[in-house]
Amino acid sequence: MTGEPPLPDGLRAPLPRDLERALRQAVLEHAGAERRRRHVPVVHVGTPGGIQLLHPDRPDEPSDHALRTDVVAAMRHRSGLPRPLVWLTRPGELDLQDVDVRWLAAARQAYAEARLPLVFVVVNRHGWRDPRSGLGRTWQRLRPRTD
């Protein structure tokens, strides 16, 4: 993504156009996937509509902060991208939930260790939200662009 790096306390408006498009694409992809199956929270690292690695947040798997941090760091590294985004897709409203906080803390640690700026948003089928700044966008009926 181009433009100014995000601030440590999250995204601020106005967003660079390519970042706006990428976040919109993340919502489109999630809305399509959620209709097809029962959805558990999934951490994505990469570029919406492009290279991305996924890790489901399953309640039956052991997890702690260090393990989640290692997962995000490995996904960032394996993506091969210079500044991959991190987004958490999940059902429900965009209000802050425990799963958001857990993965945000892990992503912050992993990106701080790599000395990279972090873009982290939570995505549901109607929009996205940055849990740090509260900036977000929702749509009533989001459709793919034809341009």
- Domain boundaries along the sequence of the chain: 25-138
The fold adopted by the segment(s) 25-138 is Cytidine Deaminase; domain 2 (3.40.140)
pLDDT for the residue numbered 140: 81
This prediction has a pTM of 0.88
Long-range pairs of 3-9 with CB within 8 A, sequence gap ≥ 24: 5/117, 6/117, 6/118, 6/119, 7/133, 9/132, 9/133
Closest by CA position to 21, among listed 107, 117, 137: 137
Residue 123 per-residue DSSP state: E
pLDDT (average), residues 119-134: 96
* Lowest mean pLDDT across 36-40, 61-65, 104-108: 36-40
CA distance 104 to 101: 5
pLDDT > 70 in the chain, percent: 87
Helices (H), 56-145: 65-79, 98-113
77-121 confidence digits (pLDDT tens): 999 999 999 999 999 999 999 999 999 999 999 999 999 999 999
